[in-house]
Each structure stands twice: as C-alpha cells, then as structure tokens.
Structure 1
Amino acid sequence: MSTAKVTSQQVAERAGVSQSAVSRVFTPGASASKKTVEKVRKAAAELGYRPNVLARAMVSGKSRIIGLVVAYLENQFYPEALEKLSNELQQRGYHVLIFLAEQTAGNIDDVVEEILDYQVDGIIAASVAMSSDLSDRCRAAGVPMVLFNRSQDDPNMSAVTSDNYAGGRKIAEFLLAAGHRKIGHIAGWEGASTQRDREAGFISALAEAGVALHSRAQGDFTMEKAAEATRKMFTSDPPEAVFVANDHMAVAVMDTLRFELGFKVPEDVSVVGFDDVPAAGWPAYNLTTVRQPANRMVADTVEILLDQIENKSDEPRRIAIDGPLILRGSARIPEGWTA
C-alpha cells in the first residue's frame, strides 16, 4: 500500500478543476461555487486527501488558530464560556488551542511564550493575571490579545468583563433593602480584578448607607478555602448575610452552613453569589446571584480580537457589561421585590 500523501493537484485532476479551486474550497472564508465545492470534496474523500493546514499557514502567514488560556476549569462559568468562545470562533473560520495556566503572572508568561511558538493569530486570556510587559511582547510578535473576564491596568490591553463594580453594588443594595446590617463577605483571589471590583462596589454601597462590613474572610475562588472561610466567619458573632465573590465558592459556603454548622438558608443567613452558573439554579441551592452576561461577553471578545487580526486595528477597547441580579431562594427577598 502506498504511503505517499495525496496532493491538491491530484484532487484537482480527479475533480476536473484547477489547483487554485481546490485551495479555495479548503481555505476558510474563500469563495467557491457550490458545484465546485461538491466536486472537490467528493474527489478529496475518494482519494483520502487532507489539506496541510500548517503548510498553508507558512505560505499565508495566517494559521487561523486562536490560543485560549484559562487558569482553572472547576468553576462552572469557565467550561460554559470556553464552549461559547470556541463555537463562535469556529463559526468565524478559526480553530482553538486551549492552554491551562496557573493564576500567577509568571506562569501565564511562560504559557504565552509557548502559545506564540504555535504561530497563533491571536490570544484570549481568561481568568489569568499577567506581567505588565507581556502585551508588549505579544504586540512585537504581531499577535493581538484580549482579556476575558479579567482586566489589567495596562492601557494597551483590550478586556471584556461584566460590570463587576456595579454587580457588587447591586448585591449590597439588595441585602440592605432586606433589612440586613451584619453583612459579611467571602472574597476570592486577591490578584483578580473581578474580586477587587466586586468587593469595591459592594463596600461602596454599604458605606453610602452608613454600614460597615461586619466580617471578611478569603476563599481564593476555591471550594475548600471557601468552606474554611465559612467556618471561621460563623464560629462566633456570625453575620446575618454574606456576599460570596462567585457561585463556585457560594455552593461550598451553603453546604458548610447547612450540613456542617447547622444554619438554615435563608432563615438564619442570606447567601448571595456572583456568575449565575448552572448549579445556582439547581433546587438544592436556588442561589440568588448576579448573572454574568456570557453570550454578550463572548461576542464582544471575539469581535475585538478578529477586528485586531483582520483589520489590523490597534485601538485597545475596554468593555464592562451590566448583568442582572437574579433573585432566588437563598436570600431574604426585600418587601416589594419579586423573584
């Protein structure tokens, strides 16, 4: 059996078309008539031909590959968001390579260096922090980057987030309207802009009402540390309500409160999260939370990145999309508010 690879010229001869027509059929975004596409794909299938994507990338200078970096997948928000990002990019003719990195800046720098070796056309960094000079290195390599669900102080970096500051304010206003005054906060990882902005908005709204934060503990966006933070916070002088920086932690907080510490939710304590992951709507949790508008965040992220890739736009854009407060049964609902 011959092991020689089938060439595009052989496909062209079998289909009765030019070699350039074969190239157009297998090039995303290129135009070819329906009849030509059918003939070429039929000939390719009969001969067992597969286009050499890497060779085409070397010739064109475009791989049509996007590097997608994510720090962790335990939080349900990220697998769902990554699926939406991958689907949207594939519909636009791009392929996705997913890289896992730790949240620390040094690690993401190493990962991005590796991504650049794959000759990607662009990078989306989700839930990761990076050093201040990383965007300069990507820009020098001609590879645009957009941050998803994170922001940086770097004015040259494009970023798409939900409006975390406004979301934090909404939660504080909701808890205050329900009559709570002893209010706690279980924070996420301190290095994340999402954590800082959510807490800043939350504290701001409490302060405007003349209410100081009753207690604070850190959960680092992990279930284990969130459970430990709950034990610490509710051992003595427990709060009447607690804002947990994301739903992933809030699930652990509710389980610890109900099944380990003997608190009733929301009778003894109101719990509010942030993200609106699928588990938030499960009857076991029925979690009141701020919904991150993932569809709009994904659409804007892809639009910004492809504009930079295809139109050579170098204007950084910062977008913060407002998300609604979703009222469920984990928190006392203020009079006049409806779930």
Structure 2
Amino acid sequence: MMADKVTSLQVAQRAGVSQSAVSRVFTPGASVSKKTAAKVRDAAKDLGYRPNVLARAMVKGKSRIIGLVVAYLENFFYPETLEKLSNALQEQGYHVLVFMTKQTAQNVDGVMEEILDYQVDGIVMASVAMSSDIAMRCQQAGVPIVLFNRSQDIDGITSVTSDNYAGGRKIAEFLLAGGHERIAYIAGWEGASTQRDREAGFRMALQEAGRDIFSRAVGEFNSDKARDAARRMFDVAPDQRPDAVFVANDHMAFAVMDVIRHDLGLRVPEDVSLVGYDDVPPAAWRGYDLTTMRQRANTMVEETVDVLMEHIQSPETACPRRVAIDGPLVVRSSARIPTGWPSNKSTR
C-alpha cells in the first residue's frame, strides 16, 4: 500500500519555518536565506518530499522552462555552445528541454507543436528554420522566440548571429592579399542564412577586386558531402584546380583538408590555402592548424539570454532585434600568410 504523499506543510513543520518559505526554497530565482534553504532541504530529504514543479507552474502560469531546438550536434560548435547556453539559462532560474529536429521548416513545425504543449516560457532555436505560420502561433501564445546562429525575414522574431557577411569579406580580403589567383568556395546548406551571408560577403569582396569565385561546390554542412565536393573540385588538372578555398564552416573544412592532403597528396598551404569558419577547438590542433573566422560563442550566448529574458519579463515593451556580432580572423598555418600579416593571432 502506497504511503500518503508528503506535503509542503509537513516539511515546514519539520524545518520550523513557514509553508511559504518552503515554497520559496523550491522556486527557482526566489529570495531565501542559505540557513532557511538548508533547513528546508534537510527536512524535505528526511521526509522524502519532492515539489510538484509542473503543478506550481500551471497555477502561476509560468513553467520556468525554455525549449531549445537543435538540428544537429556533429559540428563541434554546437555541443560546447549549447552547454554554455543551457548553463546561462539555468543561472536565470530556468530549466531547459532540448528537442532535436531536422533543419527544414516543415520538420521544425512538428516539433514546435510539441514544445508549445509543454507551456514553455520561451524558445531558442539553434541553426534551424521555421515557418511564418508557426512563428505567428508562438506570438499568439505569448511565447517569445530567439533564433541562435540563424536569422529569418519574419516579423517580430529576434535573432542572434555572428556578422557572417563581414566574416566572408574578411576571408576574401585575406586570400586576395595572399596573392591567390583561383579562389574557390565550398558552401553549406543553401537554406541557411549563415551560408547565404558568408557567401554574399565573400563574393562582394572578390567582385570589388575585379574577381569572381573560381569554382563552387556544396557541402551542406556535412562531412561526407564536403569530402565529395573536395574530390570533385581538386581531383582535376593543376591548371583547373583552385589554389585557395574558403569552406563555409570548420566541420566541413576538416574533411576537405583530409581529402586534399591524404587522398590527393596535395600540400596545405603550399598547393592549396584553406580557410574555415567558427574556430572550433580542433581548428587549433596541430594536425589542422586551421585559419578560420571565430564566432564569439560567449558573446552570442550572453546576447541570446539577455534578449530572451527581456521578452519574457517585459513583453509589452520588448522589441524584436537582429544582433550580428563581429569576430576576428584567426590566422594559422593552413593558408598562405600575406607579407606583414601577423601569424597565430586573432586579427581585426
């Protein structure tokens, strides 16, 4: 026979505090002294008491839950960044529910329906697309959304990204300064704003110098597809082969470098200069030593949490924003270094 469920009143009596004090101890973000919290938690442990967080949330109309939607975790950028994001939200007194989905808007919409059933207080979408219909539904439900490392042309939606356009420009300027004649590009997923903006900035800087992309392939932010793209691009006659390539993220750039060096026997950077984007930890490993654009993950996380809290706490006055955070080009040995350009230092 099951024992009667322990109540917060019993915990209060055991701890010698008020019932409201017990409630505050188990309410994230509530003010309570360390001494009171210790007494309440000790009494709760002795009695086997567990608060019904969801029931309290339904009464108060706030779940203290943030839905975090993620498309894929193969890219080193995401596990580390999402850990920082989850920790930052927890410091604000919120629990995080992670939902996995595919990158397309159709797949995301199904997941979003499920998220709304959890009565979440806000949603962070990391590198995934969404439809304007589901965005409107969230707005009608009073659930703010922040797009992380992605932007979309949907009214009322806030996004936080690096300045991908400026990053693409910096990479083109660096390769041009290095004297390269045949500069190529391996694109990410064509539906991503990050891909679109990086390529747009890259192309513009080349055009301003009277140049164009020598050859282009698509890797879709996928290692296997990036390898195939590299073989098609570089397994050709020397005069048809690029002497430099910008790969739209580091995750693909590692695969491309492996093909160039190990499958095709070319030298990096003597035969081919290679630049990536993100500056994930393996980029600094001696085996890759990849020149790459750094995304300021800590700053992106801080901006995301700040703007999300603003929308949750002051929905009447909060305005949608598009935050683009500039980052430095980190120069290592995978690309020819222009004369006078500092090596192994973050620039600009």
Counterpart for residue 188 of structure 1: 188
**Residue equivalent to 2:100:** 100
Question: Quick one: percent identity of the two aligned structures?
Answer: 70
Match of 2:291 among 288, 295, 299: 288
For 1:222-301, what aligned pairs fall within 5 Å after superposition? Answer: 222-236=222-236, 237-301=240-304
The equivalent of 2:319 in structure 1 is 315
Partner deviation per Cα, 1:153-187 (whole Å, 9 max, x = no partner): 11311000000000000000000000012000000
Q: Using the alignment, how far apart are the partners of 2:155 and 2:243 within structure 1?
A: 40
Deviations, residues 282-327 of structure 1 (Å, cap 9, x unaligned): 1110000000000000000011111111122441011000010000
200-209 vs 31-40, greater mean Cα deviation: 31-40
Structure 1 equivalent of residue 116 of structure 2? 116
Q: Which residue number corresponds to residue 306 of structure 2? A: 303
Aligned counterpart, 1:26: 26
Q: Return the offset for 1:137.
A: 0.6
Q: Distance in 2 between matches of 1:119 and 1:290?
A: 38
CA shift, 1:149, in A, is 0.1
Distance (Å, rounded) in 1 between the aligned partners of 2:57 and 2:242: 58
1:55 aligns with 2:55: yes
In structure 1, how many angstroms separate the alpha carbons of the residues matched to 2:32 and 2:280?
Answer: 42
The one-letter code matched in structure 1 to 2:83 is E
**Which residue identity lines up with residue 182 of structure 2 in the other structure?**
K
The aligned amino acid for 1:6 is V
Match of 2:136 in 1: 136
Distance in 2, Cα, partners of 1:81 & 1:272? 21
Amino acid at match of 1:211: R
Deviation at 1:223, TM superposition (A): 0.3
Shift of 1:45: 1.4
Partner of 1:91: 91
Distance (Å, rounded) in 1 between the aligned partners of 2:219 and 2:160: 24
Secondary structure of the structure 1 residue equivalent to 2:124? strand
Deviations along 1:4-54, whole A, 9 cap, x unmatched? 321101101101111111101111121222322222111111111111111
Q: Counterpart of 1:39?
A: 39
TM-superposed CA distance for 1:208, in Å, is 0.3
- Counterpart-to-counterpart distance in 1, 2:226 and 2:85: 28
What is the TM-score normalised by the length of structure 1? 0.98
- The residue aligned with 1:80 is 80
Structure 2 Cα separation of the partners of residues 320 and 204 of structure 1: 18
Q: Per-residue deviation at 1:2?
A: 4.7
Distance in 2, Cα, partners of 1:205 & 1:3: 72
Amino acid in structure 1 at the alignment position of 2:13: E
Which residue matches 2:148? 148
Amino acid at match of 1:13: Q
Q: Report what 1:207 is aligned to.
A: 207
Query: Could you say which residue in structure 1 is the equivalent of 2:179?
Result: 179
Any idea what the Cα deviations from partners look like across 1:36-88, whole Å, max 9, x if unmatched? 22221111111111111111111111110100001000001011110010010
Moved more, 19-28 or 237-246: 19-28
SS in 1 for 2:97: strand
In the TM superposition, residue 273 of structure 1 has moved relative to its aligned partner by 0.2
Instruction: Provide the residue aligned with 1:164 in structure 2.
Output: 164
What one-letter code is carried by the residue in structure 2 that aligns with 1:251?
Answer: F
Matched, 1:338 2:333: no
Q: Secondary structure at the match of 2:63?
A: coil
What are the ranges of 5 or more consecutive residues in structure 2 without an aligned counterpart? 344-348
The amino acid of 1:318's aligned partner reads: R
TM-score (norm 2): 0.96
- Code of the aligned partner of 1:295: N
- 3-state DSSP class of the match of 2:132? coil
Aligned length: 339
Q: Structure 2: which amino acid aligns with 1:338?
A: P
- Give the aligned residue type for 2:41: R
* SS of alignment partner, residue 37 of structure 2: helix
Moved more, 17-26 or 295-304: 17-26
